[in-house]
Amino acid sequence: MKTVSILFAAAFLAFSTGHAREAEKAPPIKHLGRFLAMDGACGWPILTVSPNGEITALVWPYPNHGFNEGAAECWISSDGGARWQRAGVPVTNVPGVARLNVAAGLNGKGAYAALVGGFGGKPSVANVASYKFPKVTPNPEAPVPAISQDQGRTWQRHPAPVMQQADGQNVIPYGRIEPLGNGELGVMCYSFDELVFYTSRDDGISWQKRGLVTKGKVHNETTWLRLANGDLYAAARTWDDGHVDGLRSTDGGVTWRSEGALTLPRQHPADLTRLPDGRILLTYCHRNQGMWGIWVRFGDAEGRSWTDPVMLVDMEDATDTSEGILKKDGGYPSTVVLPSGVFVTAYYTKGTSAHRRYHIGVVRWTLDTAPVQGRSAGN
């Protein structure tokens, strides 16, 4: 039994009681298999189910947080997430640039659309040990749109649109590219001063600012989806203590309002997935000592009522024996639902007791009708 501080346990209980109306319990989880998808990758995976049933993942393929030049890659699974193969590169990098910040999803024609940003000032892979954090964060690279007609194997790049805040700082794309239901696509982008919602009228080739979500250093990495009632719902990581807020727009992304915290501090970032029965799945990383892992909550179709949190993947031993800037690292889950009803969740970790290197892990799971007691539901 792992030790959890009394103060944290009390806060966790209060949070669960306050946010799961009528103290609704999460459905029990049944694990179908856990896999090592990509070795040596810090990852930050974003999963998408293609029209042909394949699962695609955009990932950062190096064992660091963008300390060397390189480009995000597309990997593909044709067997429901058990085995993966490298496919293509949405946006190749120029020397000295790490193209690692990505948003992705299907456009209205069923093609795979990506928006890829990044940062310059990076050494080569061979000289990654020489990298030092800059004293002043440089302007991010302009996000570049790319479209694939063959599930990520080949890509057509398009000129980078102007996606900047007023002072000329480029924004950083993150999370899912989703349809708005009117022929447009949407994506969340953030900077160090604001969070902005962008839309595209040409299937992801060009993008225009639709609305300011939050102003100031409030939110950064944000995922979103369109609800059955037409509202847009987002889960946004905060800058201050790293909790995730729920945000809502009822006018197509022009204006947004906060609806309170979905997680406690140090529990971020999150992914939102629409389930076949209309409910919403929130997947996120729990970074609190004693409860480190991937957790889930289930929301109703309008995102107004949420279940208690349940652990999906235990990563409490998520570390490795090598020296590094981060002694423990992992999270950034992404979840899709297959036509069979099986959930596939990808995440990254710096290492576990079974595999002590950076890697992207995948867990296949479903909802179990058999009674499960306590935390063993996530083991």
Q: What percent of the chain has pLDDT over 90?
A: 81
Q: How far apart are CA 126 and CA 203, in angstroms?
A: 38
Contact 178, 184 (CB under 8 A): no
**Residue of 71, 76, 121, 108 whose CA lies nearest to 91:** 71
Q: Which of 31, 187, 32, 61 is nearest to 114 (CA)?
A: 187
Q: How confident is the model at residue 288 (pLDDT cuts 50, 70, 90)?
A: confident
Residue 284: C-alpha distances to residues 136, 195, 216 (Å): 30, 19, 24
Chain segment 38-86, per-residue pLDDT in tens: 999 999 999 999 999 999 999 999 999 999 999 999 999 999 999 999 9
Confidence of residue 198 (pLDDT cuts 50, 70, 90): very high
Instruction: Return the pLDDT at 369.
Output: 61
Q: Please state the domain extents for the chain.
A: 6-378
CATH number of 6-378: 2.120.10.10
Among 95-104, 206-215, 355-364, 370-379, which is the least confidently predicted range?
370-379
Q: Looking at the predicted structure, is the pLDDT value of residue 235 above 80?
A: yes
Tokens of 26: 């999460």
Cβ–Cβ under 8 Å, residues 195 and 165:
no
Separation of CA 107 from chain center: 18
pLDDT above 80 (res 19): no
What is the residue-averaged pLDDT of the chain? Answer: 90
- Sign of the alpha-carbon torsion through 157, 158, 162, 165: negative
Range of lowest pLDDT (237-251, 267-281, 314-328): 314-328
Average pLDDT over residues 346-368: 91
Comparing 1-15, 108-122, 149-163, 208-222, the range with the smallest average pLDDT is 1-15
Examine the pLDDT at 1 and tell me if it is beyond 60.
no
Closest CA to 66 of 93, 100, 32: 100
Q: What is the pLDDT of residue 137?
A: 87
Half-sphere exposure (CA, 13 Å, Cβ side) for 146?
Answer: 31
Confidence of residue 370 (pLDDT cuts 50, 70, 90): very low
Tokens at 365, concatenated: 């799971």
Helices (H) and strands (E) in the chain, counts: 1, 25
Cα–Cα distances in Å, from 325 out to 51, 100, 136?
40, 18, 18
CA pair distance 39, 266, nearest whole angstrom? 26
Integer Cα distance of 58 and 44 in angstroms: 8
